[in-house]
A and B are shown apart, each in its own frame.
Chain A
Amino acid sequence: MRLFVAAGCGGTGRELAPYADLAGVGGFVTRTLTLDPRRGSRLRIAESPSGLVRAHLLQNPGVDRFLTTEMPWLAQQGVPTWASVTGATTDEIAAVVRRVATAPGLSGIELNLAVDDPGALRLHDGSTPKGAAAAVRAVLDVLPESLALHVKLGSDVRRLPVVARAVAEVGADALVVGGALPAALPNGTAAELSGPAVLPTALRAVRTVCHELPEFPVIGVGGVRSAADVRAFGSAGARGVQVGSALLHDPSVLARITAELEEQSR
């Protein structure tokens, strides 16, 4: 099972480096990049039982600044880096991909269709089969052969089978399934819930997609914090998992999971 650092949970990479062998992970997914910088809000994260609720305003420095300030370090350290990208329109998504694809050292793109960005929803809807396929096509049109494309879908299980199939048929290389659930901060701000609290919903989502597309590579994400969780995703059909919120609680969690997995496979 490949272990990835989930989007938005590994800082710029530098902050995680003291606690994790980043060159050895299956992949480091960047926070989701947009064409222009997004400043985000101040009240961003609150606790909930076994979970974290965070405003999903996609705070990021914008793709150009990412390329000058964050990507060179990741490349220099040999970190297998996946740029998570999104945009309000398919043109914008393509523009982000075109820019980031030139970065030396990049392993691939993770197209984030899981975010229900209120600004973007009016312009393209990645949660419908048609919208998702259009976004994937826009990326593939500008993506160099050397880069792989993972597509992240939310965990709305009713739509998942059709959306997943549409994305797979257009030509994505893998699906990232599970992730945060729509939620609200105590003050009412739209947000998403992640952490161990969402693990069962992510398992259900992964199982649903793997049932629909038995041969297609699926990476599970949502609440992973132990080797047992990794194995549960494996049983559901996933070939890899992403570790997210658990890193905020314990930045060494990747090393601990890896050691637990090795211990048990002996």
Chain B
Amino acid sequence: MTLQSTAEVRASERVGAFQHVTLAAPGVVETFRPGNFVSIGLDDGVHLARRSFWVHRVRSSSSFGATIDIVVRPGGAGSTWLAGLPVGASVDLIGPLGRPFAQPKEPVPCLLVGEGYAAASLFPLAERLVERGCPVSLLLAADTADEVIDGLDVRRSAEAVTVVTGDGSMGAQGSVAQALPGALQRSGASVVYAAGPSSTLHAVAGVSELHGAWSQVALEVNQPCGTGLCHGCIVPAVGEDAIAHRVRACAEGPVFRGDRIQWGLL
């Protein structure tokens, strides 16, 4: 069930380009599924639109109780405010929200492709897939090394981890589009999960289809409300009925089958 609560900041730590923020969120932890997000309201009285964040990690009992971690890239008003909150501060939190990643019924090989902070959403997914016996490979991408999310536990349980950066400061120099065909081949994946900018997701959807793999993409469209009320996060997508619809990224997504999105219209 989705809950709105006043969540306390339990820890906040700078890691590379990101601020990892730990929030007390009992209700979110119990019902969270990988691919869900949380929505945060700013209380500065000026910004009305809420901000959505991927859940990077859930812990049902840490030394802080039930918590979630989010990975914030400080940039505009909302993310800078959130990243700067001291321990003990409160935020208006709604979650878990959105349709999660669909997980395979059989233990098939999976490739997880994440770029920048959006890769945060793939770490809990990797854990669940490994628990289900799926061989998991990771392709992590970012512009620079300090934007590659680190996740030691997941790296250890993965079959293979490929890193590419735009400037070559970590892993190979290049983009997801360049590294993907090789990673797909090596992993033998029949399902590809991806999170990142929409140009990357478009490439993933295309390359996956060429290789005969299913793709599940976690879309990021500005979400003014996050809860399905405003119809401000419209995505052009083809439904089960083969008819093109305009659906809400927050309510009908944010995870979609890559072949369902009308990328040219996005």
**B-contacting residues of A (Cβ < 8 Å)?**
8-12, 14-16, 18-19, 31, 39-42, 44-45, 47, 49-52, 54, 59, 195-196, 245-252
Would you give the shortest CB distance from B240 to chain A, in whole angstroms?
15
12 contacts between A and B (CB under 8 A): A8-B231, A19-B227, A40-B231, A45-B222, A49-B46, A51-B48, A246-B48, A247-B225, A248-B232, A250-B41, A251-B225, A252-B4
**Are B266 and A42 in contact, CB atoms less than 8 angstroms apart?**
yes
The residues of A that contact B229 with a CB separation of less than 8 Å are: 9-11, 15-16, 247-248, 251
**Are A249 and B4 in contact, CB atoms less than 8 angstroms apart?**
no
The residues of B that contact A40 with a CB separation of less than 8 Å are: 231, 234, 246
Which of A42, A47, A59 is in CB contact (< 8 Å) with B48?
Answer: A47
In angstroms, Cα B190 to Cα A210, docked, is 66
Mark B25-66 against chain A: 1 for CB-CB distance below 8 A, else 0: 000000000000000010001111110000000000000000
**Are A42 and B236 in contact, CB atoms less than 8 angstroms apart?**
yes
The residues of B that contact A248 with a CB separation of less than 8 Å are: 48-50, 224-225, 227, 229-230, 232
| Interface contact tally, CB-CB below 8 A | 91
The residues of B that contact A41 with a CB separation of less than 8 Å are: 234
Would you give the shortest CB distance from B98 to chain A, in whole angstroms?
12
**Are B50 and A59 in contact, CB atoms less than 8 angstroms apart?**
no
Which residues, 173 to 216 on B, are CB-close (under 8 Å) to A? Answer: none
Check B251 for interface membership: any CB of A closer than 8 A: yes
The residues of B that contact A51 with a CB separation of less than 8 Å are: 48
The residues of B that contact A11 with a CB separation of less than 8 Å are: 227-231, 251
Which residues, 49 to 105 on B, are CB-close (under 8 Å) to A? Answer: 49-50, 92, 94
**Are A15 and B228 in contact, CB atoms less than 8 angstroms apart?**
yes
**Are A47 and B231 in contact, CB atoms less than 8 angstroms apart?**
no
The residues of A that contact B231 with a CB separation of less than 8 Å are: 8, 11, 31, 40, 44, 59
The residues of B that contact A47 with a CB separation of less than 8 Å are: 47-49, 224
**A-contacting residues of B (Cβ < 8 Å)?**
1-2, 4, 41, 45-50, 92, 94, 222, 224-225, 227-232, 234-236, 246, 251, 265-266
**Are B251 and A15 in contact, CB atoms less than 8 angstroms apart?**
yes
In angstroms, Cα B234 to Cα A31, docked, is 16
The residues of A that contact B227 with a CB separation of less than 8 Å are: 11, 15-16, 19, 248, 251
**Are B224 and A52 in contact, CB atoms less than 8 angstroms apart?**
yes
Given A16-B229, A250-B92, the answer on whether A50 and B234 have CB atoms closer than 8 Å is no
In angstroms, Cα B94 to Cα A18, docked, is 11
Q: 7 new A-B pairs (CB below 8 Å) besides A41-B234, A50-B45, A54-B230? A: A42-B265, A44-B234, A45-B232, A52-B49, A54-B232, A196-B48, A248-B232
The residues of B that contact A18 with a CB separation of less than 8 Å are: 1-2
Max chain B C-beta neighbours (<10 A), residue from A10, A44, A47, A247: A47
**Are B41 and A249 in contact, CB atoms less than 8 angstroms apart?**
yes
The residues of B that contact A31 with a CB separation of less than 8 Å are: 231
In angstroms, Cα B231 to Cα A206, docked, is 28
The residues of B that contact A15 with a CB separation of less than 8 Å are: 227-229, 251
Given A42-B234, A54-B232, A59-B234, the answer on whether A249 and B48 have CB atoms closer than 8 Å is yes
Would you give the shortest CB distance from A260 to chain B, in whole angstroms?
16
Would you give the shortest CB distance from A161 to chain B, in whole angstroms?
31
**Are B224 and A45 in contact, CB atoms less than 8 angstroms apart?**
yes
> What 9 pairs between A and B have smallest CB-CB spacing?
A45-B232, A15-B228, A248-B225, A11-B229, A45-B224, A249-B48, A44-B232, A248-B230, A47-B49
Would you give the shortest CB distance from A46 to chain B, in whole angstroms?
8
In angstroms, Cα B231 to Cα A45, docked, is 9
The residues of A that contact B246 with a CB separation of less than 8 Å are: 39-40, 42, 59
Given A45-B222, A54-B232, the answer on whether A251 and B4 have CB atoms closer than 8 Å is yes
Would you give the shortest CB distance from B45 to chain A, in whole angstroms?
7
In angstroms, Cα B229 to Cα A45, docked, is 12
In angstroms, Cα B1 to Cα A49, docked, is 33
Across the two chains, which residue of chain A brings its CB closest to B50?
A249
Which of B4, B46, B224, B265 is in CB contact (< 8 Å) with A19?
Answer: B4
Across the two chains, which residue of chain A brings its CB closest to B39?
A251
In angstroms, Cα B248 to Cα A14, docked, is 14
In angstroms, Cα B43 to Cα A50, docked, is 11
Would you give the shortest CB distance from A19 to chain B, in whole angstroms?
6
The residues of A that contact B92 with a CB separation of less than 8 Å are: 250
Would you give the shortest CB distance from B147 to chain A, in whole angstroms?
25
The residues of A that contact B41 with a CB separation of less than 8 Å are: 249-250
